[in-house]
Amino acid sequence: MGINDGAALRIHNVRLIDGASADVLEDAVLEANDDGWITYAGPAAQAPEAHAHVRTIDGQGGTLLPGLFDCHTHLGVPSDRSLVEVALLTDPVLSVLQTTERLRRTLDAGITSARDLGGLPTGFRDAVASGLIAGPRVQTSVGVISHTGGHADGTLPSGKNLGLDYCEIADDVTEVRKAARRMLRAGADLIKICTSGGISSAHDDPDDQDLLDDEIAAVVDEGLRHRGRPVAAHAQGRAGILSAIRGGVRSIEHGFGIDDEGCDLIGEKGAFLVPTLSTAFQPLDPQRTPPWRYQKKLRWIEKTKENIAEAIARKVNIAAGTDAGITPHGHNASELSYLVQLGMSPLDAIRAATSNSAQLLGVEDRLGTLRLGYAADLILCMQDPLQDISVLSEPENIALVAQQGNIHKLTLTDPEQGLFRAAGQNNLHVGVRP
| Domain of residue 222, CATH code | 3.20.20.140
Asked whether residue 259 falls in the same domain as residue 193, the answer is yes
For residue 431, the model assigns a pLDDT of 40
In this structure, is residue 344 part of a structural domain? Answer: yes
Asked whether residue 46 falls in the same domain as residue 85, the answer is no
Distance CA 58, CA 37 (A): 19
**Residue whose C-alpha is closest to residue 66's, from 280, 291, 433, 364:** 364
Cα-based distances in Å from 51 to 7, 48, 54: 12, 9, 6
Asked whether residue 224 falls in the same domain as residue 283, the answer is yes
Q: Is 427 left (phi over 0), alpha (psi -120 to 50) or beta?
A: beta
Q: Which stretches does DSSP call E strand in 147-222?
A: 167-169, 191-194
Asked whether residue 154 falls in the same domain as residue 284, the answer is yes
In this structure, is residue 190 part of a structural domain? Answer: yes
Q: Which residues of the chain have pLDDT under 70?
A: 1-6, 81, 87, 414-434
Q: What angle do CA 390, 81, 204 make, to 5 degrees?
A: 90
For residue 85, the model assigns a pLDDT of 72
Residues recorded for the chain: 434
In this structure, is residue 195 part of a structural domain? Answer: yes
Residue 269 near residue 216 (C-beta atoms within 8 A): no
Distance CA 106, CA 333 (A): 10
Tell me the residue range of the domain where 51 lies: 9-66+369-417
Asked whether residue 350 falls in the same domain as residue 237, the answer is yes
| Phi, psi dihedral angles at 277 (to 5 degrees) | -65, -20
CATH number for position 390: 2.30.40.10
First to last CA, the chain: 13
The total number of structural domains that make up the chain: 2
Asked whether residue 202 falls in the same domain as residue 328, the answer is yes
pTM: predicted TM-score of the whole model, two decimal places: 0.93
Instruction: Using only the alpha carbons of the chain, give its radius of gyration.
Output: 21
For residue 202, the model assigns a pLDDT of 87
In this structure, is residue 396 part of a structural domain? Answer: yes
For residue 434, the model assigns a pLDDT of 57
Residues 6 or more apart in contact with residue 280 via CB below 8 angstroms = 256, 300, 301, 304, 305, 308, 338
Asked whether residue 354 falls in the same domain as residue 410, the answer is no
Asked whether residue 342 falls in the same domain as residue 228, the answer is yes
Q: How many CB atoms lie within 10 A of CB 37?
A: 19
In this structure, is residue 2 part of a structural domain? Answer: no
Asked whether residue 340 falls in the same domain as residue 401, the answer is no
Asked whether residue 50 falls in the same domain as residue 84, the answer is no
Asked whether residue 60 falls in the same domain as residue 74, the answer is no
| Phi, psi dihedral angles at 163 (to 5 degrees) | 65, 35
Residue 236 near residue 254 (C-beta atoms within 8 A): yes
In this structure, is residue 429 part of a structural domain? Answer: no
For residue 415, the model assigns a pLDDT of 46
**Residue whose C-alpha is closest to residue 124's, from 110, 137, 108:** 137
Distance CA 179, CA 36 (A): 38
Distance CA 85, CA 171 (A): 28
Torsion of CA 263, 266, 270, 271, to 10 degrees: -120
For residue 414, the model assigns a pLDDT of 54
Among residues 360, 394, 409, the one where a domain terminates is 360
In this structure, is residue 432 part of a structural domain? Answer: no
For residue 347, the model assigns a pLDDT of 98
Distance CA 272, CA 387 (A): 27
Residue 16 near residue 39 (C-beta atoms within 8 A): no
Asked whether residue 140 falls in the same domain as residue 235, the answer is yes
